[in-house]
Structure 1
């Protein structure tokens, strides 16, 4: 018997999205089930433009290096640098470099900000740490930037070390970024004597920063303070990540995945203090439910950034998952009719927004079946997550760029 789900389906626009939510959230998270699809990035841009023009949103945060993102933010807010340099050096991960949709986003943000007062300008942020599944950056950039900030504002005798000491202990950056360390803990320097000392010094620098907050805010600006706080949490997060890269226990990969999402959550929580923000990353990073990933025979499970931020912000966090019908250029053809994607694929709409909790209630007696993916780069929507997802954005067919 056919199941009527039409009452859960709405037009795929920001107006319909906002009607699903009890109030405007401080963080509106838009997930995607795969990376690099132009169709999804164009949809993200369209949603962000509407949120800016009609809902007062002023920040977009994407799954990209939080330190590199500062280059993009400087460009869109004040025109610092060039668009080509920003696209080459301000975004991380292969699916973000040289991407037409991201270039269009940055161009539009820069044009929108031109001539606007500082308080009304759009802001750009990366929420990921300077790391990926293949390795992690040296903590040098973030740690020395925090040291420079503090050295310019507080008495030198309060600093736990000199910049020269940090430089000596950090050593060569190549040792920190050794590609083989991700698979071989013995190749990591994360638990060397020097790394342990740097980690203690980083903790002391962050503690000093926190203790001096009243003075720092009066002597500089909230913007400078926010940036220095980013340096501090990035440096300590990277040092913690490198330490676990050197671990030899079975917990190693679970801890690394959890630490990455923790860094994302800290960045999102900080951005939420600035005002309403649209976050865009993989569904697995933004969902409220526990995330999982299989690596060989091991099943890794950890709490996502979305789950962590939701625990902190409550109703000020909203999550929209994206589900897809086909990605034919990657061998993902029409979904099985009994899956969530299959039920939505049978609808006439090419794009729609679904009231996910209402759909979950409708399907309570006939739960949909999980969908299998023939391509490793695509993660189908987990039907057990419907009730904990505020809305489901469905795109019937993607188009190869």
Structure 2
């Protein structure tokens, strides 16, 4: 894989990982202490386990296909939600990815969901969705390599999901499913977002096209994030102003409500969001935090825009720290995407998180240049959330945290060490999380294995 492809295709994931590497260890060490600690009495743990067992629903499998009766209770927990956020405790575990496929199938077939949204760039989503609608050549594995190359999702599990979605569309042409990339992106020369904005203005207001092309001329390509971040902050801020001016230009030179106009504005908005994010200063922790806040807000806005434009239901896939209401790093991610979506949808948004007791997953180094490698972690220690969660009699299960018995809710609302790995994994110290304040529903797995690479 060339350096150009390795960096460009990762989109904002790369910048986020750099930021996380700068701040994560400090943020984790500053987390509040656990009042219960490692000295929680056996009797109290037993009471919590009994409370969880009284409402836990066993999960037959995480693998897609086959009987889905074990998902009916999960469907009831989701209810009539319009957007469901489904997290992942790591960016590299087979079981999390497979379960996303399985649950999306269920939601499509039983609850009328129409879109799978992923924490990947807007333009990668466009490329995959074109393939799903029959407009792109090749097979699902090649599409994943092209659109998601170098990312955590360049995996067999996502090729399987996309292959199923394309097959579903062939047999359901009047009610197709879609793929959305809700994240920011790193536009490149020929990037369809740039081209589609220009194409719209060429038709709607050709006199404004030269001004748009002048604004965009200095912005594309942006295919070397390391090099771009190395540029002076003032220069990057100037580029962000140009991207915003281009968005403003398109906004005032069209017909609101017209479908082509709405899409052109959204493409221009994504470009502006991307360049605004890329103004962060790695030497200033507050600047990095502000950029990550912008990113989570943008992901929520992109998801909501798509959902309202298509009037369909969306399964939004992201890391636990983006899908839920609380991150393990409250400085870097003070308000996750899930919290913004809750603001927008109220109870019509449901956040589902994952935990696991032990196993293997893929992770990379702090700046995503060392490739993805396998990491194995042992069974959770008594001070961790997962240690008590794994005492429940079901090997794998899910539970509605909103309606759990008081003994369980009180325990779930305490911050404890937890397994949490995005593109990088910091285990000394482990990050901390109060699970009950982070999600509406929790899926707990006894063990995970690393995702399948091509």
Shorter-chain TM band:
0.7 to 0.9
C-alpha separation between the residues in 1 aligned to 2:426 and 2:57?
A: 25
Q: CA deviation at 1:196?
A: 5.7
In structure 2, the residue matched to 1:340 is 385
In structure 1, the residue matched to 2:248 is 204
The answer to whether the 8 Å contact 2:326/2:334 transfers is no
1:262 equivalent to 2:297? Answer yes
CA RMSD of aligned residues (A): 2.9
Q: CA deviation at 1:351?
A: 1.4
Please point out which of 377, 384, 392 is paired with 2:434.
384
**Aligned CA distance change for structure 1 residues 14 and 206 (closer, same or farther; 3 Å):** farther
**TM-score normalised by structure 2 residue count:** 0.73
**Aligned CA distance change for structure 1 residues 327 and 198 (closer, same or farther; 3 Å):** same
Q: CA deviation at 1:173?
A: 2.3
The answer to whether the 8 Å contact 1:186/1:246 transfers is no
In structure 2, the residue matched to 1:173 is 221
C-alpha separation between the residues in 2 aligned to 1:307 and 1:186?
A: 33
Please point out which of 280, 284, 299 is paired with 1:245.
280
**Aligned CA distance change for structure 1 residues 106 and 253 (closer, same or farther; 3 Å):** same
In structure 2, the residue matched to 1:133 is none
1:123 equivalent to 2:123? Answer no
1:315 equivalent to 2:347? Answer yes
How many residues matched?
372
1:65 equivalent to 2:116? Answer no
C-alpha separation between the residues in 2 aligned to 1:235 and 1:249?
A: 24
Q: CA deviation at 1:325?
A: 1.0
SS in 2 for 1:327: strand
Which runs of structure 2 are paired with 1:360-399 in the superposition (5 Å)? 361-363=406-408, 370-373=416-419, 376-377=424-425, 383-387=433-437, 389-399=439-449
The answer to whether the 8 Å contact 1:357/1:388 transfers is no
Please point out which of 58, 67, 72 is paired with 1:11.
58
1:304 equivalent to 2:336? Answer yes
Please point out which of 180, 192, 205 is paired with 1:155.
205
The answer to whether the 8 Å contact 1:48/1:278 transfers is yes
**TM-score normalised by structure 1 residue count:** 0.82
C-alpha separation between the residues in 2 aligned to 1:168 and 1:246?
A: 24
Q: CA deviation at 1:235?
A: 1.4
Question: 1:75-101, CA deviations, whole angstroms, 9 ceiling, x for partnerless residues?
Answer: 11124221244122222552112x111
Question: 1:291-314, CA deviations, whole angstroms, 9 ceiling, x for partnerless residues?
Answer: 626xxxxx5343111111110111
**Aligned CA distance change for structure 1 residues 234 and 370 (closer, same or farther; 3 Å):** same
C-alpha separation between the residues in 2 aligned to 1:8 and 1:70?
A: 40
In structure 2, the residue matched to 1:236 is 272
5+ unaligned residues in a row in structure 2: which ranges?
Answer: 1-42, 60-69, 361-373
C-alpha separation between the residues in 2 aligned to 1:253 and 1:129?
A: 15
After TM superposition, which residue ranges in structure 1, 4 or more long, deviate above 6 angstroms?
A: 378-381
The answer to whether the 8 Å contact 2:86/2:318 transfers is yes
C-alpha separation between the residues in 1 aligned to 2:117 and 2:110?
A: 18
